[in-house]
Amino acid sequence: MKIKTGKIRKLDKTVKGMTLSAGIALKNGFYTETIWILSEIIEERLRKVIVITEKMKPGAASGIEQHIKKVKLLLSKEHNASLKEHFPFTLVSSLRSWKNNRNTMMKDMLAMHVSSERKQRIANQGIAVLKELDKVYKHYKLAAYVQPKHEDYLPEIQVSEQPVIIETIAPQT
């Protein structure tokens, strides 16, 4: 008898793939997994905001807390007007608040049973924060990467008042 084997699906580490995974986990009641996937997505979005602003990648050992601190620092600097315009400071505080709730829940899981309703509430808060972050990130990315119109950089064409004389050389026979 021949045993059928299916293809092993690779983990999709893109934000779109992780968002789909978080939605499936939330729908099936896996709230802890949803929270961790949302943490990963939020961390990735914050990392990309830092990369766009500073034009360099943050260290590999930096996590969501370090990214939140870095974005807060970038918001306090004067030369980041575009970031200040698109990234509200209240979003930083809501990200930090959600992260602290997540950490508290994970610590409580070690000592006692954490209710499914609490996990679901934190997962839903994470989704709300992620939606806000995605909206801000898309507007900021668009503002940072959109190049000015081509016509703005064309030099003025100098037009001469004298007529153009075209000289032709006739073949010699």
Q: What is the pTM of this model?
A: 0.72
Using only C-alpha atoms, the chain has a radius of gyration, in whole angstroms, of 27
The residue written with tokens 């930096």 in the block is 62
Structure tokens at 106: 């994970």
Domain 15-145 has CATH 2.60.40: no
Quick one: pLDDT at residue 78?
76
pLDDT attached to residue 41: 92
pLDDT of amino acid 153? 46
pLDDT at position 4: 52
pLDDT at 77: 84
Decide: helix, strand or coil at residue 152.
Answer: helix
Mean pLDDT of the chain: 80
pLDDT at 2: 54
Residue listed under structure tokens 């829940």: 105
Alpha helices in the chain (DSSP H): 15-27, 31-54, 64-76, 81-86, 89-111, 116-145
Percent of the chain with pLDDT over 90: 26
Ranking 76-80, 108-112, 156-160, 163-167 by mean pLDDT, the lowest is 156-160
Q: Distances in Å between the alpha carbon of 56 and those of 52, 53, 75?
A: 8, 8, 17
The upper half-sphere exposure of residue 82, i.e. CA atoms within 13 Å in the direction of its Cβ, equals 15
Question: What is the pLDDT, as a whole number, of residue 147?
Answer: 53
Q: Which residues make Cβ contacts (< 8 Å) with residue 35, sequence separation at least 6?
A: 102, 105, 119, 122, 123, 126
Q: Which amino acid type is present at position 13?
A: K
* CA dist., res. 39 & res. 98, Å (int): 10
What percentage of residues in the chain have a pLDDT greater than 70?
A: 76
Which residues fall within 8 angstroms of residue 116, CB to CB, at 6 or more apart?
A: 29, 31
pLDDT tens for 57-116 read: 777 667 888 889 988 988 888 777 788 888 888 999 999 999 999 989 988 887 788 888
